[in-house]
Amino acid sequence: MFLTISTTGTPERPATDLGFLLHKHPGNAQAFSTSYGTAHVLYPEASAERCTAALLLEVDPVALVRRGKGKGGKGRSGAADASLAQYVNDRPYAASSLLAVALSTVFSSALRGVCRARPERAEQTMPLRVEVPALPARGGADLVRKLFEPLGWAVTAEAVPLDEQFPQWGDSRYVRLVLEGELRLAEALRHLYVLLPVLDDAKHYWVSADEVDKLLRAGEGWLAGHPEQKLITSRYLSRRWSLTRQALERLELVRLADADDTAVEAIDNAVDETADTEERPVPLAVQRRAAILAALHEAGAARVLDLGCGQGQLVQELLKDPRFTEIVGTDVSVRALTVAARRLKLDRMGERQAARVRLQQGSLAYTDKRLTGYDAAVLSEVVEHLDLPRLPALEYAVFGSARPRTVLVTTPNVEYNVRWESLAAGHARHSDHRFEWTRAEFRDWAERVAGRHGYRVAYVPVGPDDPEVGPPTQMAVFTLDDTPAARKYAHTPAEKEAKAV
């Protein structure tokens, strides 16, 4: 298996920066052991004007048979030819999931976009040319273009004939692939890591549940909006329907989480036109965070979860208060977590401060053992971004499974929308809001949640409390009821029903 990555450069940005980004010196030929053979990295050319890195994977067919559990050794025709197909196949020669795994093993730092020697270069796009001499493509050259062109690549995919001496036999399922484009190196590697096995439509190893996390990490920033998302997801997960459905649901949540927040920021931070001598009102977003911190202080919480933390504004405020000894921010969007890490300056944070905070990817539609045992959890402007049929899943994950002692939920009060002059009548505050509750609707939901899961609930207005339409934001403070009568709620039929939903 063979793949090359080339770039061109200028005196200010030499092409040999490719060596820094790949963490492989152009002056050395290096070899790396893998489970199925040896991966070699070498540079056929390395100058300031042009640099090419080559990855050559020598596959050990015997090791592949001994360790492989996937489709790599078996043909689709059945078991009759399986014993021979284990040894006679295209695996040593054609790019496949074996090469994708070698990419992630040999270029792991580059795949994550990490480069301490040239951090600014890792964030910049560069002219790239990727060549794969033999790529199995179930779907032909047309599918190759459908997969790569939406990602910004100029694609050249030439079908390889079955036999050049007998063109009448037609084309094989292999193509010669050339990709050219202006992208970040990490983006290019992630595209290859996902799409090489997708085109081959066969993996050399057993696909388990952790493959969903691998797919979402590598697909961060591009897969959620790809026009061939369903095909990519299904093939990458070897058509295992349960995993595919889970991945598609999480990708949809990522798409929603990455929706443009311009409208909601404009509403939250809107102020009346005032003279320069008048004091401007505090933005609603700031008032909301202050109300959350006050409720956490009153609850005596020290270990706090920010569920749906977004870009980390609340986590940043919590870190300023030494009373909060452990702060965990969770979000379904890897992009949002990356922005949050930059906002918090995690890479430059002192050891003691860094020990107090952790950011992790996760979906509130599923139970997560990492969320158990905390004093408090905050769902700030989160619930309205979910479809109503999905709320019972979130309800069980937070109140039924994680069960923090205190849960704070804030959500817009739709009755207050008439006070926003910049908001058109009948419109939600954000295009991604699936609903906005009245005060009565919010209280009805909160009372049912509290009754079903053994909590008490109180309500706090956030922002100016208008005598006619109420506050712009409504907050419910759930407190776990530790009385013996309330403890039964953890195992009642109603709880089991919520879990099933």
List the one residue out of 388, 389, 334, 392 whose CA is nearest residue 367. 392
Sign of the Cα pseudo-torsion (423, 426, 429, 430, in order): negative
pLDDT, tens digit, 9 for 90 and up, residues 378-430: 999 999 988 899 899 999 999 999 999 999 999 999 999 888 777 777 788 87
Q: Where are the alpha helices (DSSP H) in 107-228?
A: 108-112, 119-122, 140-148, 185-200, 210-218
Residue percentage of the chain with pLDDT more than 70: 84
In this predicted structure, what is the pLDDT of residue 391? 93
Residues 6 or more apart whose Cβ sits within 8 Å of residue 215: 194, 223, 233, 236, 237, 247
- Predicted confidence band of residue 204 (pLDDT cuts 50, 70, 90): low
In this predicted structure, what is the pLDDT of residue 330? 95
Higher pLDDT, 99 or 325: 325
Angle at 46 between CA 41 and CA 50, to 5 degrees: 120
Whether 457 shows a pLDDT value over 90: the answer reads yes
Angstrom distances, CA of residue 87 to CA of 92, 174, 201, 382: 10, 19, 19, 53
This prediction has a pTM of 0.57
Is the separation of the CB atoms in 189 and 110 below 8 Å? yes
pLDDT, tens digit, 9 for 90 and up, residues 466-500: 999 999 999 999 999 876 555 554 444 444 444 44
pLDDT, tens digit, 9 for 90 and up, residues 207-251: 777 888 889 889 988 998 899 999 999 999 988 888 898 888 888
Enter the tokens of residue 179: 């990709």
Higher pLDDT, 453 or 81: 453
- Predicted confidence band of residue 63 (pLDDT cuts 50, 70, 90): low
In this predicted structure, what is the pLDDT of residue 400? 94
Count other Cβ atoms within 10 Å, centred on residue 156.
15
In this predicted structure, what is the pLDDT of residue 6? 96
Mean pLDDT of 158-172: 81
pLDDT, tens digit, 9 for 90 and up, residues 91-102: 667 777 888 888
- Predicted confidence band of residue 83 (pLDDT cuts 50, 70, 90): low
- Looking at the DSSP assignment, which residues form a beta bridge with residue 119? none
Residues 6 or more apart whose Cβ sits within 8 Å of residue 12: none
Count other Cβ atoms within 10 Å, centred on residue 379.
20
List the one residue out of 293, 287, 284, 292 whose CA is nearest residue 264. 284
- Give the integer Cα–Cα distance in Å for 459 and 478: 9
Rg of the chain on CA atoms, in Å: 27
- Give the integer Cα–Cα distance in Å for 302 and 324: 4
Enter the tokens of residue 173: 């399922």
In this predicted structure, what is the pLDDT of residue 84? 59
Give all strands of the β-sheet with 154-161 in edge-to-edge order: 30-34, 37-46, 50-59, 2-8, 126-136, 171-183, 154-161
Residues 6 or more apart whose Cβ sits within 8 Å of residue 320: none
Residues 6 or more apart whose Cβ sits within 8 Å of residue 323: 297, 302
Residues 6 or more apart whose Cβ sits within 8 Å of residue 103: 3, 55, 111, 189, 192, 193, 196
Enter the tokens of residue 148: 């790569």
Whether 161 shows a pLDDT value over 80: the answer reads yes
